[in-house]
Amino acid sequence: MQNIIDNALEYVKEVFETDYSGHDYFHTFRVYKTATNIAIKEKANLEIVQLAALLHDVDDVKLSPETHTNKDKARSFLRINSVEETTMEAICQIIDEISYKGKDSVIPKTLEGKCVQDADRLDAIGAIGIARAFAYGGNHNRVIHNPNINPNLDMDAKEYRNHISTTINHFYEKLFKLKDLMNTDIAKIIAQDRERYMKEYISEFMDEWEGIR
Ligand code: ADP
Ligand code: NI
């Protein structure tokens, strides 16, 4: 088991070597560590959780649209590493369920999926979440803030993927929604602290924007 985890760590290091959109290797590594901690608390299957966490972004629709539908990269890694067919299907199902898609987001069917989704979403909030949002915004040519553009709070998957907005709006369109979408008890507790930190950050940002501070 350790051997395949080491192989997966090496594999994702290569895949994300040139990512500057907030989906770099260290994002995957943090999701792997957090998912493992949640899985231990929840007594979930560690092999499935750890491999799904490590492979969760390799076929992401934004990063690898041509392999997204069939999860080609994840499947080929798992086949080369002789992972059983049923385990592979469980992992690919989690990867399919994990992503935030506005009101089309899904709650993963398995406990393992819930652990990985929570870990991925925790990495989108708090101090690191703030850094990732602005990295993503810069990488996708979005402005930091424009008070004349209102957030769209009720998007489906297609609108969420295609709409043009600002990074500050992204806090309202996604990040402030995540606390109430956590699946596991431990993630709900961690999310509360991270959300409080983001709210303070946005409040400070708006004060500075208005020239109050
Ligand atoms: P998921 O991990 O649920 O698939 P994404 O890949 O869309 O979600 O988001 C991953 C990271 O990119 C998060 O930290 C998120 O805040 C950031 N991000 C995604 N879309 C935007 C956006 N429109 N503006 C700023 N940051 C974004
Ligand atoms: Ni991710």
Average pLDDT, rounded, for the chain: 95
CA separation (Å) from 130 to 84, 127, 193?
A: 38, 5, 14
Q: Quote the pLDDT of residue 96.
A: 95
Tokens representing 192? Answer: 């509360």
Q: Quote the pLDDT of residue 75.
A: 98
pLDDT digits 0-9 by tens, 45-89: 999 999 999 999 999 988 899 999 999 999 999 999 999 999 999
pLDDT exceeds cutoff 90 at 160: no
**Coil, strand or helix at 140:** coil
Judge whether 131 and 141 are in contact, CB under 8 Å.
no
C-alpha span between 24 and 102 (Å, rounded): 23
pLDDT digits 0-9 by tens, 20-34: 888 899 999 999 999
Mutate to test the pocket of ligand 1, among 63, 123, 132, 161 (most ligand atoms within 8 A of CB): 132
Q: Quote the pLDDT of residue 168.
A: 98
Q: Quote the pLDDT of residue 156.
A: 87
**Residue 171 CB coordination number (10 Å):** 21
C-alpha span between 123 and 2 (Å, rounded): 24
pLDDT digits 0-9 by tens, 110-133: 999 999 999 999 999 999 999 999
Confidence of residue 102 (pLDDT cuts 50, 70, 90): confident
Task: Please list, in sequence order, all residues whose beta carbon lies within 8 angstroms of the beta carbon of residue 42, skipping any fewer than 6 positions away.
Answer: 111, 114, 115, 184, 186
Q: Quote the pLDDT of residue 86.
A: 97
Confidence of residue 159 (pLDDT cuts 50, 70, 90): confident
119 ligand 1 Cβ < 6 A: no
Q: What is the mean pLDDT of the segment spanning 157-180?
A: 92
pLDDT exceeds cutoff 80 at 2: no
Q: Quote the pLDDT of residue 163.
A: 84
Judge whether 143 and 167 are in contact, CB under 8 Å.
yes
Judge whether 191 and 125 are in contact, CB under 8 Å.
yes
- Terminal Cα-to-Cα distance of the chain (whole angstroms): 54
Question: Which residue's CA lies nearest to atom 16 of ligand 1?
Answer: 133
